[in-house]
Chains A and B, each alone.
Chain A
Amino acid sequence: MRTGTRWLKPANIFRLFGFGLFIYLFLGFMVLPNWNTLTQIFNTTVKTVDPATGLETVRRDPWAVIRFFFAGNMGKYVLNSLKLGVFLVVTVNIVGISIVLLTEYFDIRGARILRLGYMTTLIYSGVALVTGYLFLYDNNGILTTALVNAYPGMDKNWFSGFNAVMFTMTFACTSNHMLFLRNAIRSIDYNTVEAARNLGARPMKVLWKVVFPTLIPTLFSLTVMTFITGLCAMSAPTLLGYDSINPEIVRLAGSSIADEAFPQARAALLSIILALFTIILLTVLSAYERRGHYLSVSKTKARLVKQKIHNPVANALAHVYAYALFIIYMTPVVMIIIFSFQTYSAIRMKTLDLGNWTLLNYFGQADYSYLTSRGTYRVREGAVSGVFSNADTLGGIRTSFILSAIAAAAACVIVVVAVNYIFKRKKTGALVEYALLFPWLLPTILICYSYRTYFNSSDVWYVGNTNLYYMHNVRLLIIIAYTVTKLPFSLRMIKAAYYAIDDELEDAARNLGAGGLTTMLRVKLPIILPSVLAVFALNFNALFTEYDMSATFASSYGTTYAMVMQSMTREEGLYGFNVNASGRRAASTVFIMLLSGLVLYLVYGVGARDLGERLALREKRRARRAKWAARLLPRKKAAEGSR
């Protein structure tokens, strides 16, 4: 009897409910929809006509889509994606390693400014970045126009297809290098560099034999992640016109059986191929990580001192290379900022009109008159509008903001609760951990595609026979997809933060009488909160500008900011529609950069301060206020005295 009562404790009921909910979510939103996609491949039907009778029969042909794959041009998409992945690994690593070495290892003048430039991709990525590059480099882009004017023989369509995707993604995908490789190089024990120099190694030998080996684990992870990014690329191939897997999946998902042969099964097959590649790569990565890392055995690490390049020619070349890269990184950013304040006519003419600045791309509306084919002028009211005055753009911002914020928060909450459990229960915790890492094995496109097809029905009993792809419901589906895809990343980061919690803190709290929930909320959560907030911010930033998933859902009820931006690139100015689309796009990009920058500052700048730093800062402010008051008060008194 006593045992029964103890078992019914609120904590146990809560745990049971939590576990039940977790299993429901895992099976219902990770396993079943994706399993459905997998089985779609083998559910293809073909029509056959009996030549003798002329009768048409429909029969199941599980291998039809596989035969189609080998017979048709589907292989092209896979090969193109693989090609992109392989080439990106080379170019992104070259640029990524270069920028990290130039800012953190070698003594290059102006390294701080260079670093800021190289880090712009942290606040400027995805569709915003690609449309920014298009703005500069496409056939009537500002830089292309300038270059063609200077060199008339130049191909003005140079920025399209594979070259354009490679160029854009090479510079867009170095964010991880700036985050992780930079950390790795900064944590090198400088004593090892000094020891190597002391033993007679020349600077390049030190770099190659001492520094690089310690970076290999990070570089390996970055290489795998870059390859997966290339393989799963979506916004760049879509906007720049390159036939790779993901855009084709989205196209097929939106196609009907009347247009082409079993499009859904083909989309599913491509998704599965993508998933297989991802699984193989992540398996290789985790096997490598398990082999261990090169860790510093030093107890007293010395901070890395930047290395001077003593050869004057090499030094000059390094500086030229560093600043050339800086120009490549900064040009789109600067141009976008400048042109966001330019009139639509200046933007359309691709010329900078220094005497005519406007805020119309941000705020307000204006009418637009244009010449019709009949030779008469027609006015379209409110055709020129700013980001914050345009209903579509504002709607996109609102949708993205709400969906991203909810999903980013949900992912953090789920992971915090799960990690607490994982650290308490080793065996069942491992199962929970694998379940949360499961979405990493599946490309985001596969997950979204699976949701779109599986929940586009009123027969899914465990969601109350509600069609989740119907009208406003799609927003819930997008939130779930966003949350699910952000779980593995959130888990890795928050789990790492959890390791920093000293076991004795929990013991101390329990010894002082705190229960499990109190310990979690009042002791552990405040410690990991900076990391949780950082994860929330990174998730939010990524989701706020994401294009791949919302494009896969392709619903007018879930039109996100990135989709609005993408749509702005089309039919600009035609019949008086979308007149200042480029300007508004530029302003949108500036807005995204500001928002992302602000979020990153709040999280890394303000949120990362510990209590001691916060109290010291408060004390400093109080002292400053007192100092000012002391300065002002005598003046005031003197003024009163003179009166």
Chain B
Amino acid sequence: MIRLENITVRFDRFTALDDISVQVNEGEFFTFLGPSGCGKTTTLRVIAGFIQPAAGRVMVRGRDITGVPIEERNIGIVFQSYALFPTMTVRDNIAFGLKIKKLPAAQIRDRVADIVSKVDLSSDQLGKAVSQLSGGQQQRVAIARALVTEPAIICMDEPLSNLDAKLRVQLRNELKHMQQKFGITTIYVTHDQEEALTLSDRIAVFNKGVIEQVGTPNEVYNHSKTQFVCNFIGDINRLAEETCALMQLDPAKAHYIRLERVPVNPQPDARMALLRGTIKSREYYGMYIKYTVQTPQQAVRSIVRNDGISIYEPGQEVSLGLNPLNVMSYPLDEEESP
């Protein structure tokens, strides 16, 4: 569907994207994930046509659109700020693209009515100003405006970042539901790993202008290809040299273990290395409890389900189980190498 081939983008001397290549399949919910300034929004803007790459090609359904003007690409965008026109009503915002295309008034009316019902907006909101809508409603208007022109692809640039936590979770689910309903190829940009993991069919993890890994949520979480990916996605313990020695792990590599793979006071298991230590701190999350345990080797963090019974107090002695099968190992970085 979309194929980015060796895209490079430079801003003066700064290389924002360095020879990236990725393919997005038809109907897929594909996420660009990474920290701020890693190049994910730049990639999105290259696809939309706002930025011309210094090198490389953007292919859509086999056609090279690298030099095609923005308005001829047939790509819808939902912006981070939604970019709703404040001087227009909801109706005018949604109909803007159709009016530009000079569609007959009756057709515009029908298409606006149709999309409004699909994104769960009520028709009496059409006459309102966008400033009179809630954040969630504004997001729906932005989606309706992007979809009403029937684009081949829809790009979303952190569309949930302006919302409060509860609404974000609610709209996240609605977004996925809508994408499935429309079956439209979606490229989603976010720095929120949880959002990426819950929404995406596949994820591309960006770092410093390059793509570190492309894979399903399970692949990038459980089989992270690089140290950066495993550190960026989810919370993780890096094992100290003493711990690695205890577990007989290769000292020439960096070893990591996810928090939920470190049980506190586990059932005896021959494969597990046991570390004894005292609870240094406890963070209560409701469904889960996160402990930091100080062992003679290092401080190890663990997250356990809150069953309401096994709750440990700071200062209490516990043992931690580390299974080598759950350890993810990577070659040391250049600066870490002896």
Contact = CB atoms under 8 A, between A and B. Distances in A.
B104 interface: no
A13 interface: no
Interface residues of A, number: 24
B338 interface: no
Contact of A616 (B70, B80, B132): B132
Given A518-B100, A611-B131, A615-B132, A523 B81 contact: no
A320 to B, nearest CB: 45
Interface stretch (A36-44, A237-245, A275-283, A509-517): A509-517
Contacts of A505: 83, 85
Interface string B80-101: 1101111111000000110011
A508 interface: yes
Nearest to B89: A611
B100 A512 contact: yes
Interface in B117-137: 127-132
Given A512-B145, A611-B87, A507 B129 contact: no
A527 B86 contact: yes
Nearest to A528: B87
A507 B79 contact: yes
A513 B97 contact: yes
A612 B88 CA distance: 9
A502 interface: yes
A545 to B, nearest CB: 32
B131 A612 contact: yes
Contact of B81 (A504, A511, A616): A504
B254 interface: no
A610 B129 contact: yes
Contacts of B97: 512-513
Contact of B76 (A502, A511, A527, A529): A511
Nearest to A529: B87
B100 A513 contact: yes
Interface string A528-548: 010000000000000000000
A611 B128 CA distance: 9
Contacts of B70: 510-511
A526 interface: yes
B250 to A, nearest CB: 47
A509 B48 CA distance: 13
Interface string A568-587: 00000000000000000000
Given A504-B83, A505-B85, A523-B85, A511 B75 contact: yes
For A502, A504, A513, A612, the residue with the greatest tally of chain B CB atoms inside 10 Å of its CB is A513
Contacts of B77: 507-508, 511
Interface in A549-567: none
Interface in A479-512: 502, 504-505, 507-512
Given A612-B131, A612-B132, A615-B127, A514 B100 contact: yes
A509 B88 CA distance: 12
Contacts of B145: 508, 512
B71 interface: yes
Given A513-B97, A523-B85, A610-B86, A615 B128 contact: yes
Contacts of A610: 86-87, 129, 131
B50 interface: yes
A511 B71 contact: yes
Contacts of B88: 526, 611
A610 B50 CA distance: 29
B86 A507 contact: no
Contacts of B83: 502, 504-505, 507-508
Contacts of A526: 85, 87-88
Contacts of A507: 48, 50, 77, 79, 83
Interface string A108-131: 000000000000000000000000
B66 interface: no
B185 interface: no
A611 B48 contact: no
Contacts of B84: 508
Contacts of A612: 128-132
B204 to A, nearest CB: 22
Contacts of B80: 504
A508 B138 CA distance: 14
Interface string B36-78: 0000000000001010000000000000000000110001110
B79 A504 contact: yes
B113 to A, nearest CB: 19
B149 interface: yes
Interface string A616-634: 1000000000000000000
Contacts of A504: 79-81, 83
A229 B124 CA distance: 54
A505 B85 CA distance: 7
B98 to A, nearest CB: 9
A513 B101 contact: yes
Contacts of B128: 612, 615
Contacts of A509: 85, 96
Interface in B255-292: none
Contacts of A611: 86-89, 129-131
Nearest to B145: A512
A610 B84 CA distance: 14
Contact of B71 (A514, A529, A615, A616): A514
B165 to A, nearest CB: 17
A615 B129 contact: yes
Nearest to B72: A513
B85 to A, nearest CB: 6
A135 B85 CA distance: 52
Contacts of A512: 71, 96-97, 100, 145, 149
Contacts of B71: 510-515
A486 B70 CA distance: 38
Nearest to A518: B100
Interface in B138-158: 145, 149
Contacts of A522: 96
A445 B129 CA distance: 47
A604 B100 CA distance: 32
Contacts of A511: 48, 70-71, 75-77
A132 to B, nearest CB: 41
A502 B79 CA distance: 11
Nearest to B45: A507
Contacts of B149: 512-513
A522 B130 CA distance: 16
Contacts of B132: 612, 615-616
A352 B50 CA distance: 72
Interface string A336-362: 000000000000000000000000000
A40 B293 CA distance: 87
A522 B149 CA distance: 18
B325 to A, nearest CB: 46
B162 to A, nearest CB: 12
Given A512-B149, A611-B87, A502 B81 contact: yes
Contacts of B86: 527, 610-611
B16 to A, nearest CB: 17
Given A507-B79, A509-B96, A522-B96, 18 more contacts: A504-B79, A507-B83, A508-B83, A510-B50, A511-B76, A512-B97, A514-B100, A515-B71, A518-B100, A527-B85, A527-B87, A610-B87, A611-B88, A612-B130, A615-B127, A615-B128, A615-B132, A616-B132
Interface of A: 502, 504-505, 507-515, 518, 522-523, 526-527, 529, 610-612, 614-616
18 contacts: A504-B81, A504-B83, A505-B85, A508-B79, A508-B83, A508-B85, A511-B71, A511-B77, A512-B96, A512-B97, A513-B101, A513-B149, A526-B88, A610-B131, A612-B129, A612-B131, A612-B132, A615-B89
Interface of B: 48, 50, 70-71, 75-77, 79-81, 83-89, 96-97, 100-101, 127-132, 145, 149
- Nearest first, the 6 A-B pairs at minimum CB distance are A512-B97, A526-B87, A612-B129, A508-B83, A612-B131, A504-B83
